Amino acid sequence: MADYTALLERLLQQEQDLQFTKFTNGTAVQIGSAILERASGLGKQIVVDIRKNGTLLFHAKMDDTGLGHDRWIQRKINVVNHFGHSSYYMNVLYQSWNTTIQDNAFVDPMEYAAEGGCFPLLIRDVGPIGTISVSGLSGEEDHEMIVSVLEQLVQSGQLR
């Protein structure tokens, strides 16, 4: 059996490191646009979705994406809203337990997808207020698309 400890710790650390002190509609546009730009630069076709307190602030589809991607996003959002962690963290956690979200948490597989690509929108000292989602790549790549952009914006001082 694989040892998932280091990966799970890294994913939890991302949730600690990539928190905001405030998050505006403009922040959503900035992040969503940066994710689209990164995907375009890598020749990837994705859908990006950013929600705050249940309100859709940013949603964009690149070529070769469709309604199926929107459905995946909603299922990943349901996981983040239910468990409070990124959908990729939940995917790896269930792999480490050698089970699935459906078998362990007894949720409807048509409504919940523990796959990478949805990251909790966290406000420091407040908690989760929304989600940042990507669909169109593998779960791990969807997750990395979000995290890499957030890390870049934080390191450049553009966010916080």
Cα–Cα nearest to 114, from 84, 139, 144 = 139
- Phi, psi angles (nearest 5°) of residue 22: -155, 160
Give residue-wise pLDDT tens across range 10-49. 999 999 999 999 999 999 999 999 999 999 999 999 999 9
Distance CA 24, CA 67 (A): 27
pLDDT at 37: 97
Burial class (CB in 10 A: 0-12, 13-18, 19+), 36: buried
Residue 16 pLDDT: 95
Which CATH number fits the domain that encloses residue 139? 3.30.450.150
Sign of the C-alpha dihedral, residues 21, 27, 33, 34? negative
Q: What is the pLDDT of residues 86-143, one digit of tens each?
A: 999 999 999 999 999 989 898 998 999 999 999 999 999 999 999 999 999 999 999 9
Q: What is the pLDDT of residue 157?
A: 78
Its domain, for residue 48, covers 9-155
Does residue 2 belong to any structural domain of this protein?
A: no
Residue 143 in any domain: the answer is: yes
Cβ-based neighbour number of residue 126 at 10 Å: 12
